[in-house]
Amino acid sequence: MQTIICMKWGTRYGAEYVNRLWAAVQRQTDRPTRLVCFTDDVSDIDKGVQTEAIPDINLPPDLINLPWRKLVMWKHPMTNLRGADLAGDVLFLDLDLVVTGNLDVMFDYEPGRFCVIENWTQIGQNIGNTSAFRFPVGKYTHIFDKLQSDPASVLDKYRIEQLYISREIDDMVFWPREWCVSFKHNLLPRWPFNFFQVPKLPSETRIVAFTGKPDQDEAARGEWPVRHWLKKSYKHVRPTPWIEEHW
């Protein structure tokens, strides 16, 4: 059984994001695969998704709802997990992405190692983007343990969680670059062509991440929610039909 996990807390992403991810996982895997969602609200989540409470993590109140909370996935063992516990290589996917290709190969690639996206805005700096990563359960528990034992030293040294992870894992490996792309940084035509051209989806792509804005549904409709007149002059996206086809 392959395991994919995601997290949902607060109101930024509703249950429909989890349900769409589950539907995509079922379409894009050929092997038995489960989706485990760690969440503070199970309302309206598809019954086919295994829901679990988010384990406790020692973070300051102003960081508990930021991506630092994802570091709880490195806790081992996960307590009170229903059914088979997490084991082997587990794939983590954020909710702000669209699965466009088969995911089975992401379990076959470099087994037993931490695999992550090379951050699109920091190419060559050995920094991962944790929108989609795979990790062997129980191998890098120091990431969670160190944050819990001395959160002040970690948070003083690192501004974002993915930089902390990148510096703590010495055998990190990046996914093939064509597998995981950023909608804004890789697919959106450059200004001024973004006003006239629809973003194209490469055939080899498996995951498209929508970090920041626009969200998946906004980009599909051709909407980029900005208020300032200057940003409106360059932040623009054409309606992109393939998003809805895969999301």
pLDDT in tens, 173-219: 999 999 999 999 999 999 999 999 999 999 999 999 999 899 999 99
The reported pTM is 0.94
Q: What is the pLDDT of residues 76-116, one digit of tens each?
A: 876 556 655 777 899 999 999 999 999 999 999 999 999 99
Domain-wise residue ranges, the chain: 2-95+110-174, 180-246
Please give the pLDDT value at position 82. Answer: 61
Give pLDDT, residue 168: 94
- For the range 59-68, what are the long-range contacts, defined as Cβ-Cβ under 8 Å and sequence gap of 24 or more? 59/147, 59/151, 60/151, 60/155, 63/155, 65/9, 65/10, 66/161, 67/130, 67/160, 67/161, 67/162, 68/147, 68/155, 68/161
Query: Which superfamily does CATH assign the domain made up of 2-95+110-174 to?
Result: Spore Coat Polysaccharide Biosynthesis Protein SpsA; Chain A (3.90.550.10)
b/e map 24-55, b = 16+ CB within 10 Å: bbeebbeeebbbbbbbeeeeebbeebbbbebe
Q: What pLDDT sits at residue 181? A: 97
Q: With bands split at pLDDT 50, 70 and 90, how would you rate the model's confidence at 60?
A: confident
